[in-house]
Structure 1
C-alpha cells in the first residue's frame, strides 16, 4: 500500500499533504473533483464514474493515487500498465485506457500509462500535480519499467489553431514562446515530447490533438 507524507508550499508556508492509494470511500470526492477540474466545454461523459473508479482500485490499485490537504482530497492521478512500441506511437485515449475503464491493463506491460490527472482548482497553487506525477515516477523505478507515458491535452491550442499547426503550437510551448496550461505543466514535471497525436480525445479546446509525452526510467537502460 503506497502512502507517504511530505510538504507542499503556499506563499512559502509549508503545508503537510498525504499521498496515498484511493479506495471506494473516496469515490464521491474524486467524482466531484473531476467536475470542478474539467468544466464545460470538456465532455461530461469523460468525468469518472463509480464503475471506472472501481476498476482502477481492483485492477491496478498501485496506479490509483490521490493527495489530501488537511484531510480533504485535493486531487488524483490514475495509471495502468501497457506495452508501448515507440515505432508505432499513434493511438487514442479511448484505446489506450479502455475509455477509462482500464480493463486492458497488462500486469506485464513495460510502460506506466497516465489515464488522468486532476487537481481541485483551489489547491493548484500548491503544485500538487507535480507531487502526484513524481509518485508515479517512483512507481516506474520501483517496478523497473521503461517509462511513464501519456497524452497531454493542448487546451490553449484553439486560440492559435487558425495560424499554427498542432506541431508548431507544441514546438512553441516547448521553446517557451507560448504557455499552455497542460503542456507547460507536464514539461515542468520532467516530461519530454514524443510526438503529436491526432484525434486523441474528443476535446474542443485542443481541437482533438494531444502531445504524447514520456518520462524515461533513468535507472533502466538496455544493455
Structure 2
C-alpha cells in the first residue's frame, strides 16, 4: 500500500523501509531512555518488522532525518475481555513473531517522536497512517496499551489503580493516555506489569480506536 502525508511543518509520514532501521534504533534510545534494554527495538528487528508486516510500519521524516515512527502487528483481540500480557511478550521479544496475519485488530507497539519535534501533530499523523491500514485491510480498528506517564508525579499519593481510575474519569490529565483520548481512543482497562518503566508505574491503559472513527 502506498501512503504519504505531508504535514504543514513539512514533516512527511511514509511507510517504513529497511534502510531506516539504524536510525530507528537510535531514535528508540532518545525517546525511551527509561526502558530496559530488552524492551528497546533494534535495527535487525525493524528490518524484520518490514518483512513480516510492511503495511503496519510508518516513519516521520524531516528531509532525510528520521524523527518519528510507529510499529504494529495484526492481532486477535476482544476489547471486552482483558487478557494480561507484557510488552515483551506481545512484541515477541521485539521480533513481532506474535503477528497474526488474519488478526482483526491492529495492535500498535509504539509511537515515538523525537523530543525536538513534539507538538507538531506528528504522533496524531502516525495514528492516522495506522488508521489508513485498518481501513485498507478491513480491520475492526487499532488498539494499544498507552503508557500512564503522569503517574510518576502522583505515585507518592496513590496507587496505580487509583491513578488509572482518575485518568479514566477525567479527574486527572495524563500526558500520554489523555492525549490519546482526545485523538479518539477509548479507555477499556488497566494493564499492570506491562513493562519495566517506573515513569508509568510499569502499567498502561488498554485503549481502542474503532475503524469507523475519523481522526
Partners of 1:3 and 1:18 within 8 A in 2: no
Given candidates 114, 120, 123, the residue that maps to 2:117 is 123
Deviation beyond 4 Å, 4+ runs, structure 1:
none
Partners of 2:28 and 2:40 within 8 A in 1: yes
Displacement of 1:94 in angstroms is: 2.1
Deviations 1:190-209 (A, max 9, x none): 11101001111111122221
Partners of 1:42 and 1:204 within 8 A in 2: no
Deviations 1:170-199 (A, max 9, x none): 232344443322212211221110100111
Q: Distance in 2 between matches of 1:153 and 1:84?
A: 19
Give the length in aligned residue pairs.
212
Given candidates 76, 100, 119, the residue that maps to 2:69 is 76
Aligned partner of 1:139 in structure 2 is 133
Partners of 1:166 and 1:196 within 8 A in 2: no
Q: Distance in 1 between matches of 2:144 and 2:209?
A: 9
Deviations 1:127-167 (A, max 9, x none): 20000011111111221111211111112212223332323
Aligned partner of 1:189 in structure 2 is 183
Q: Distance in 1 between matches of 2:193 and 2:16?
A: 30
Are residue 49 (structure 1) and residue 64 (structure 2) matched?
no
Q: Distance in 2 between matches of 1:44 and 1:146?
A: 32
Aligned partner of 1:111 in structure 2 is 105
Q: Distance in 1 between matches of 2:125 and 2:168?
A: 21
Q: Distance in 2 between matches of 1:148 and 1:44?
A: 26
Q: Distance in 2 between matches of 1:33 and 1:21?
A: 17
Displacement of 1:79 in angstroms is: 0.2
Partners of 2:31 and 2:113 within 8 A in 1: yes
Partners of 2:21 and 2:44 within 8 A in 1: no
Partners of 2:82 and 2:189 within 8 A in 1: no
Structure 1 regions of 5+ residues with no counterpart?
8-13
Aligned partner of 1:167 in structure 2 is 161
Partners of 1:94 and 1:100 within 8 A in 2: yes
Partners of 1:156 and 1:205 within 8 A in 2: yes
Deviations 1:84-143 (A, max 9, x none): 123243222222221221112111001100111100110012120000011111111221
Q: CA RMSD in A?
A: 1.8
